[in-house]
Structures are given as C-alpha cells and as structure tokens.
A and B are shown apart, each in its own frame.
Chain A
Amino acid sequence: MFKHILRSLTGGPVTEPAPAPSPDGLAELAGQVDRAAKARLGRSLSIRAVDAGSCNGCELELHALNNPLYDLERFGLRFVASPRHADVLLVTGPVTKNMADALRRTWEATPEPKWVVACGACAIDGGVFAGSYACLGPVETVIPVDLRIPGCPPRPTELLAGLLALLERSARAA
C-alpha cells in the first residue's frame, strides 16, 4: 500500500488532465461546467440522485463519475446524501407508480432554487418501459424537469455535458 501511495505522490494523480482536451472531450467539458457553476451559484453544485425505477444502469455510470479518472468533485460538483443539501435532483428511471410518492416528497424536501435533471432514456420518455401498468413514464409527469440527458445509460462524459447545459439554461433564465 505504501508503494501505491508513494507512486501517487511522485507520479501525480491518475485523474485525466483538466485543461488539455482529452480524446473523449471530458476535460474540456468539465472546465466549462466549473466556470458556469461559479457564475450562477458562486459556489459548488450539490446533486441528489433519485432512482425512480431505473434498471441500475444509470446509477453505475453516475458512480463512474466519482472514480479518480473522472473525479467529479474537482469541479465542485458532488453527490449529497439528503435532498435538503441539494441544488439539483438527478432522477433516473421510468417513475414506477410505487416510487412516485417518494419522488414527489424528495422534490418537496429540496430547497429553492432547485433544478431537476431527467437522466437517461427512461426518465425522459419511459424508454422501453413506456406504457406499463406499473410506470408513470417521463419524470415530468410527476415533477417539473429542467433538463434531459439522453442515453441508455448516458456515458459519464455525456452526464457532464448535461450538467453544463443545465447551468447555462438556468443562468439565462435568471
């Protein structure tokens, strides 16, 4: 373990570099997110993820955002444990009827100003689950949605791109 620590002290972080545009465009994107977040909020952006019936695919990619290669927190974006601490609700899944009440109550527990991101194909239009007796479909049938991030599931870079779009739109609206 000390070898690992020594290597990371001498070898620098594994995190993919922020200023230089990396092949997948991650770093460039993330820099823009940071500037827009500062302009709008003057602080970091706290995200509460709510699974409203997802297959867990979107959650896996949200987890990936926290790994050292993407390292979401370096841009001031972080996932928080309570809706009370959140600026953004990031909702996944085709909103199952069994989860609708919990989603609504999570939204009510989030203080203003707040934004809602519908993450993934299911949250946008119900995806392959549209029309089921057990699903309400799009997140916007339950709570207002500010932004949609398509993909099944969206890649981590697409998730970052989505958050940037949200910040620009909310800045224009203000």
Chain B
Amino acid sequence: MYGEEPLFGLLNRLGRPAPNHRPWPRHVTDRAGWRLLIDHLGQNNWSLLGLWGDRAADGLLVHAALREDLSGDVGLVSLPCPDGRFPSLSAVRPAAIRLERAACDLFGLTAEGITDPRPWLDHGQWGLRHPLAQTPTFSTPPTAPYPFLKSEGHGLHQIPVGPVHAGIIEPGHFRFTANGETVARLEERLGYVHKGIEGLTRGKPVLEAARIIARLSGDSTVAHAIAFARAVESALNLDIPPRAVWLRALMAEWERLANHFGDIGAICNDAAFAFMLAELSQLREAVLRAADACFGHRLMMDCVIPGGVFPDIAETGPKRLLDLTIELRRRFAPLVAIYDNKASLQDRTVSTGIVNTGLVNRFGAGGPVGRASGRGLDARKSPGYAPYNDLEFEVPVLTEGDVNARVWIRIREVEQSLSLVEQIVRRMPGVPRGPDGITPPPLLPLDHVLEHAKAGGGGEGMALVESFRGEILTWARIAADGTVERCHPRDPSWFQWPLLEAAIEGNIVADFPLCNKSFNCSYSGHDL
C-alpha cells in the first residue's frame, strides 16, 4: 500500500501489548510514541474508531482505537498521562475534537494543541468538575454564556433553537447563522441529556451495568446491549450458547427494521408528505407488537445480557416473525414505489443536505450517513462477527450524499434485514433440551460468568457492533469480582453530528428538519 506501514507494524513499534485485552491488541506507548502515531495518522487514512479517558490504579490514561479499513485490522493505543495531558489528535483527525473535549470534561485530561478547547458535555451544572477524575473538584454554575463560534458579516442573523424543541424529540441546541433563508453556519451544542452513564456503570456488577447501557439510547437498546455484552464476554473470554448468538442477531435486525420504517416515514413527513408516515408507522407498530409477543418488550430492552439472551423467543415467535416478514415485504414495496414516483417529494429530498465522500471519510462516519456518501463500511462485514459470516446480505452504498440517498440506503437495508430475519429464523440452532425435559434459556449461568472472571483475574474487551445508526464501539474493563471498572460505549452519532453542520450549509433553514431527520443522530447516545 504505497509503502505505508501496516497498522500492526506501527503499533508494535509504539509499545508492548497489554495483557488480557481481547480480541484486538492494546499497545501501551509513551509520549514519543503517541507523537509518532499522530505523524502516521497525518499520512495514512486509518479510521479513528474512538478516543476515551480512563482511570486505572496507577493514574489517568487515554485510549485511542484505530482501524485499517482495507485490511479490517483493529488496534488500540494507550498513553499514560501522569500529568493529565496528552498531545491532541484533532489536527489529523477532526472527529477527535469532541471526544477529546468530553475526555477533558469527565477526567480533566487536557488535549494539548486541540483546535477547540471549549467544554462539551459539562455545562457547569453538575456541581463537580471532572467527575470521573481521581479527585473531582467542586464547581459553581458559569457566569458567562457558552461562547458560540462567531459568524460576522453583512446581513447575517442568528436563530437559536432548543434545547426544548417543538416536536417530540430529544433536547439539544442548534445555533443557526443565516443570510436571509440560507444557512451560513450551524453550530450544535449538545450534552443536555448527559446522565453520567460512564460514572454510573463503574463498580456495578455486569448485569446491573447492562441495564444502564440498555438505556443509553432507547432506539438502539438491542445493539448497545449486544456491544456491551460482547465486550464483557471478550474481556472474560466467555463463549456463549450458539442459539444466543443467533437470537441476538435476530433482535438486532428486528430493531433495525422498526427504526428504518419509522425514519423513512418521518423524513417524508418532514417534507410535508404525511401519507408515508401514516403508512410506515403502521409497519413499525406491527414490528413492535411482534417484538412484544416474541420477547415480552416492544423495544426488546434488557433481553440481551452478558452471557446470552433472556428470555428465549416465545414458542410461536418464529412462525409469527416469518409470516410478518412476508406481509411487511408485500406492504413495503408499493410505498417505495410511491416515494420514487412523487416529484413533489423528490423535489425536497434530492440534492438537499449533501455530505461529500471526503468528509465522511475524514470523520469516519458510518451507518446510512456514511453509506449514502460512498463509505461502505459495516461492522457486520468488517471486522465481522457471528452469525453474520454465515448469512447472505449486501451492504448498500450510494455516492450522492443527499437526503434522498440516505432514504434509499434505509430502503435497501429494510430489504436486506427482512431477508436476514428469514435466514436467521430458518437456520437458528434449535432449543436445547436437557435429559429431564427442562429447556435451559440460551444464557450462561451467572455463577459461571463470575467463576470465569475470578479465574482469569478479570480482563479488558472491546466490541464493534452495527446498530441501525452505524457502528457502535464499546470498551470495558472487568474486575476479577465481576464488576465493571470502566466502560466506554461510543455511539455512532459522535462521528455523524459534526457532519450535520456541514450538510446544512448553503441549504435553507426550512430544510433543516429534513436534513436532521435524514441523519437521525442520537442525543442520548452521544451525551452519555
């Protein structure tokens, strides 16, 4: 590759791999090594998968996860920061800016040379500064307002929106600077729904922490629960029952269907075409009711837990899901034809809110946002995880990068997910039956999990899981007593929110809801 050093080659030069980190290596480096990493990031196009602060027994450190997209190799680099400082990655990876601001707010880790040192999650309301640092300090609410970036010029005016929005949506603040109808700049301010999830999970038994992670972002509760469970299982080197692996994928695809139906309808609704929302919300409701009948919860919350899945799918579930996929396919196709044929609707979605390929690559954005702009990565394919390597599906990619492309990616993904659900239901391993006729749930007993934790002395694990929104990274360090020492879930929204600021530039203010909905980033998942 143009004489470039492969990822693992560089990581091995940077430092030794830490013990007990699975499945990818984590190399511990020093400041010189970290700077060498920055030099290399400036010359290659490895994706930054995440960057987060950590507090170990011997002090603060910062972790960065990287991927070489072509080979699919993933690796982590850690830098101990005894003085609470580390050189910023923001100059070579702009996606690092908000992650570094968050690490500063939570741990007091200062990114040297960061291009934007303003606080991000911390609005000065917590009564604490650096709540996850060794010794948090008390704080008082700020006296000065948050300094928004300046936009000055003839005829420019500002429109502040939020945090309380007009619809039933999550809170966040948008500061528009417009010239007449045209948006000259949008700046987001998030963090309003920061719940301190990383602090709450600390010291909790894994099952209790799983309940918190399941509520990181309600629409992707299954995907986040899978990512956390897999990170824990990697850390403790656990193999879960095969049936649980397949049931997880079934729930994940079912969740993707529910969300995509809702999103396609809502995007059309924001283009004043309410008909599509009325039709597609019925399909969404059918999916949710089936989930309730199969797993006892409409959103399938708390069904995926470390060690497996609980409860198993209801006995009538597989048939119900197969019947419903046939019905959904029958009802979805004519709606797609309507979307495709309505000139008045296309007039709003085509060439609106364009994000170019260069930008999605620089920010490492995944999901429909990335795939609509030519970045065809999908964690189910690369690095890939079970059972998807045994399933047939395609990852749709478009290059237009507009609202229309993001709708089409979702339409194609609905078709793929319907097929995946059918494949999974047909090929899933059957219910194991014990000699006494009792059917155990597809779940490792808690004793077994705790014994493994004790025997292995705990460990560190990471998982990459594809949610309906894109790739989730979850990293966890589990102690020998089976409690969570540190857990960092990185929602895909982190790398998509910044692109929304770019997408709306040059569009009219009235198209913002349309652009925003076509991204559908998570506020809660991002704010943590």
Partner among B164, B288, B292, B522 whose Cβ is within 8 Å of the Cβ of A50: B164
Write out the residue numbers on chain A whose beta carbons fall within 8 Å of the beta carbon of B323.
none
| Closest Cβ–Cβ distance, residue A105 to chain B (whole Å) | 8
Q: Report whether B196 and A152 are in contact in the complex, using a CB–CB cutoff of 8 Å.
A: no
Write out the residue numbers on chain A whose beta carbons fall within 8 Å of the beta carbon of B459.
none
Q: Report whether B170 and A51 are in contact in the complex, using a CB–CB cutoff of 8 Å.
A: yes
| Closest Cβ–Cβ distance, residue B60 to chain A (whole Å) | 18
Q: Report whether A14 and B196 are in contact in the complex, using a CB–CB cutoff of 8 Å.
A: no
Q: Report whether A51 and B195 are in contact in the complex, using a CB–CB cutoff of 8 Å.
A: no
CB of B442 within 8 Å of the partner chain:
no
Within 8 A of A (CB), among B166-219: 166-171, 191-197, 199-200, 211-212, 215-219
Q: Report whether B196 and A93 are in contact in the complex, using a CB–CB cutoff of 8 Å.
A: no
Write out the residue numbers on chain A whose beta carbons fall within 8 Å of the beta carbon of B341.
1
Contacts A102-B163, A129-B200 given; does A96 touch B523 at CB 8 Å = no
Q: Which of A61-69, A138-146, A160-168 contacts B (4 or more CB under 8 A)?
A: A61-69
Query: Contact string, A124-147, partner B, CB cutoff 8 A, digits 1/0?
Result: 000111011111000000000000
Q: Report whether B192 and A102 are in contact in the complex, using a CB–CB cutoff of 8 Å.
A: yes
| Closest Cβ–Cβ distance, residue A40 to chain B (whole Å) | 24
Q: Report whether A51 and B218 are in contact in the complex, using a CB–CB cutoff of 8 Å.
A: no
A56 to B192, CA, bound (A): 13
Q: Report whether B301 and A57 are in contact in the complex, using a CB–CB cutoff of 8 Å.
A: yes
Write out the residue numbers on chain A whose beta carbons fall within 8 Å of the beta carbon of B167.
81
Write out the residue numbers on chain A whose beta carbons fall within 8 Å of the beta carbon of B298.
61, 155
| Closest Cβ–Cβ distance, residue B510 to chain A (whole Å) | 15
Q: Report whether B125 and A100 are in contact in the complex, using a CB–CB cutoff of 8 Å.
A: yes
CB of A58 within 8 Å of the partner chain:
yes
User: Chain A: interface residue count, which band?
Assistant: 35 or more
Q: Report whether A133 and B285 are in contact in the complex, using a CB–CB cutoff of 8 Å.
A: no
CB of A74 within 8 Å of the partner chain:
no
A123 to B393, CA, bound (A): 41
Q: Report whether B218 and A55 are in contact in the complex, using a CB–CB cutoff of 8 Å.
A: yes
Q: Report whether B168 and A98 are in contact in the complex, using a CB–CB cutoff of 8 Å.
A: no
Q: Which residue of B lies closest to A65 (CB)?
A: B168
Q: Report whether B195 and A134 are in contact in the complex, using a CB–CB cutoff of 8 Å.
A: yes
Q: Report whether A128 and B193 are in contact in the complex, using a CB–CB cutoff of 8 Å.
A: no
CB of B68 within 8 Å of the partner chain:
no
A174 to B212, CA, bound (A): 40
Within 8 A of A (CB), among B342-373: 342
Q: Which residue of B lies closest to A50 (CB)?
A: B164
Partner among A14, A99, A132 whose Cβ is within 8 Å of the Cβ of B199: A132
CB of B128 within 8 Å of the partner chain:
yes
Q: Report whether A1 and B217 are in contact in the complex, using a CB–CB cutoff of 8 Å.
A: no
| Closest Cβ–Cβ distance, residue B141 to chain A (whole Å) | 9
Query: Contact string, A38-72, partner B, CB cutoff 8 A, digits 1/0?
Result: 00000000000111111111111111101111000
A14 to B279, CA, bound (A): 10
Q: Which residue of B lies closest to A67 (CB)?
A: B281
Q: Report whether A96 and B193 are in contact in the complex, using a CB–CB cutoff of 8 Å.
A: yes
Contacts A56-B218, A96-B192, A132-B200 given; does A67 touch B285 at CB 8 Å = yes
Give B contacts to A, CB under 8 Å: 123, 125-128, 131, 136, 163-164, 166-171, 191-197, 199-200, 211-212, 215-219, 221, 262, 275, 278-279, 281-282, 284-285, 288, 292, 298-299, 301, 334, 338, 341-342, 522-524
Extra pairs beyond A3-B334, A152-B301 (16, CB < 8 Å): A54-B524, A55-B217, A56-B218, A56-B219, A57-B221, A58-B218, A66-B281, A81-B166, A81-B167, A98-B193, A102-B164, A122-B215, A129-B212, A131-B200, A133-B127, A152-B215
Closest 8 CB pairs of A and B: A57-B218, A134-B196, A81-B166, A67-B281, A132-B196, A97-B125, A55-B218, A56-B218
